[in-house]
Chains A and B, each alone.
Chain A
């Protein structure tokens, strides 16, 4: 029976000749991920297993990123628990302060994921690595514990939605606008339980940063995973980052899809998701005059070097509007360093922004930029649920780095093309 790209990866990892949507399978894992919030719960569950070691010390990774550098005593205790566990089990890929970054920016950068891999992570945005042609999906802490113990996870094989991209993005329009547009179109449960498979000639114009951002937000449409067809751009990224030999899977020509969506990239406009759902997408003709109090540029969605470059292009020689707190968070140490070397940090600081060490911080309302009642923020993050960045009466508007930077300058949600004057 014909299979989708996702189904082929699942079948191969379950040791089966073929699978179909709805099958329940037990599949072998190439990488098991956890962070400082989800790992402690998994470590407690792992204890039930009653064995001393994990299935493969090179295939378990923990990244301390959510409340790190520790925001309070409880956060410090949680990190210590992870640190002790990784020490004890001799885990190779444990990333702590000084080496850490936001997990989903960090793992591809460190070459820990390659095309054809099957990855689970106790973090919903684990779907990010679909950009590399891997099957990767977010799970809970108990799944992580099971993965650490036996190197396997159970899956219900998903059906798929095919997204065919054509055309090229316009200036100051990026992957973030594409995915907000798609979620706006299909809704926050539009791809519930399904794979979103991205294909089409439009792929050739999307950078890895764009693809990682798009795959990252597949979960905001309810999807199990988002996955991109592997091409030269993927392969050179994998090579540059020293990842393992890729295994390329492609969908059978006669694979069955629940739905096919065609997107002409040249028609995508800068898009903003209004509170309190990522699916409340609007373009500037429907936005109006919205005064803001804070801008956050960062996160696993948009904290990459390309994102910082575009923000710097807009902020260069401009001043951030009075009373708009602008927080810029490079997603990894390496991105931080490169941004420094390219002079981007100077541009941000001179414009009136603060630049932080890598952390999830404000993205999940942890610390480093919490909103008061009634305040509004434009953020390049991926969720704008009630209370996500602070008080339950605050609001988060999701946008691209270009739109966020432009809004920082004007103090209102603004179209980057207008601020730059193109």
Chain B
């Protein structure tokens, strides 16, 4: 899978409460969740995010609650990929299960700047900063996880009898 987009950059410990505040958890409508994405951290996010954009962030991205509304809001807002130094574990599995591409790469998260254009190929584990020309390597996903993403999410894989 290949992703190309411009970078929106955040710091460490971006928690699910700022990704999608609890006051909006009385809905699970994707578009409505997207309209409040990042609201308590970055009020400009919703107005400036473009289809295909890529988020880079520091350590422990997505820490906090298990709300799947968080990766859903990010995906529905048009973000194609999140590159972080590390992810909180429930966010990590939620993203995989709903088919939001994510990748851990501390070097890329440090080296890439806000606004850069980046291309990432998760099959080979290559991340290219097209603005600066710098390249970063990550480990490709394990096969089991790739199967989930290829099938469009965990329940799709279960429905097809691939996971049983």
The answer to whether A189 touches B59, judged by C-beta atoms less than 8 angstroms apart, is yes
Q: CA–CA, A375 to B163, complex, Å?
A: 49
Chain B nearest CB from A96 CB (Å) reads 17
Is B15 an interface residue when CB atoms closer than 8 A count as contact? yes
Is B18 an interface residue when CB atoms closer than 8 A count as contact? yes
Residues facing A in B45-97 (CB within 8 A) are: 59-60, 63-69, 71-72, 86, 88-90, 93-94, 97
Is A124 an interface residue when CB atoms closer than 8 A count as contact? yes
- Given A142-B153, A386-B40, check contact A124 B17 (CB 8 Å): no
The answer to whether B15 touches A142, judged by C-beta atoms less than 8 angstroms apart, is no
Contact check: which of A24, A41, A44, A193 meets B69 at CB < 8 Å?
A: A41
A-facing mask of B10-34, CB < 8 A → 1, else 0? 0001010110011101111000000
Q: CA–CA, A67 to B72, complex, Å?
A: 21
The answer to whether B40 touches A143, judged by C-beta atoms less than 8 angstroms apart, is no
The answer to whether A189 touches B86, judged by C-beta atoms less than 8 angstroms apart, is yes
User: B27 — which chain A residues lie within 8 A by C-beta?
Assistant: 74
A-facing mask of B96-120, CB < 8 A → 1, else 0? 0110000000000000000000000
The answer to whether B154 touches A365, judged by C-beta atoms less than 8 angstroms apart, is no
Q: CA–CA, A364 to B17, complex, Å?
A: 9
User: B158 — which chain A residues lie within 8 A by C-beta?
Assistant: 48-49, 146, 149-150
The tally of residues in B whose CB lies under 8 Å from a CB in A reads: 43
**B69, B86, B88, B154 — most chain A CB neighbours (10 Å):** B154
B-facing mask of A76-114, CB < 8 A → 1, else 0? 001000000000000000000000000000000000000
Q: CA–CA, A191 to B25, complex, Å?
A: 28
Contact check: which of B60, B69, B93, B155 meets A188 at CB < 8 Å?
A: B60
* Nearest chain B residue, comparing its CB with the CB of A40: B28
Is B133 an interface residue when CB atoms closer than 8 A count as contact? no
User: A37 — which chain B residues lie within 8 A by C-beta?
Assistant: 25-26, 67
Contact check: which of B41, B93, B156, B164 meets A140 at CB < 8 Å?
A: B93
The answer to whether A150 touches B68, judged by C-beta atoms less than 8 angstroms apart, is no
The answer to whether B144 touches A24, judged by C-beta atoms less than 8 angstroms apart, is yes
The answer to whether B89 touches A192, judged by C-beta atoms less than 8 angstroms apart, is yes
Contact check: which of A38, A126, A224 meets B89 at CB < 8 Å?
A: A224
* Nearest chain B residue, comparing its CB with the CB of A391: B40
Chain B nearest CB from A391 CB (Å) reads 10
Q: CA–CA, A152 to B27, complex, Å?
A: 27
Contact check: which of B22, B144, B153 meets A365 at CB < 8 Å?
A: B22
A-B contacts, 24 listed (Cβ < 8 Å): A38-B68, A48-B158, A50-B159, A122-B66, A122-B68, A124-B65, A126-B66, A140-B67, A140-B93, A141-B94, A143-B93, A143-B154, A146-B154, A146-B155, A150-B163, A154-B93, A188-B60, A222-B88, A224-B89, A277-B13, A365-B17, A383-B17, A385-B64, A386-B18
Top 9 nearest A-B pairs (CB, nearest first) are: A140-B94, A74-B26, A142-B97, A140-B68, A189-B60, A124-B66, A141-B68, A385-B17, A364-B22
- Give 9 new A-B contacts, CB below 8 A, not counting A142-B68, A146-B97, A146-B158: A44-B28, A48-B159, A67-B26, A140-B71, A189-B88, A222-B88, A366-B23, A383-B65, A386-B15
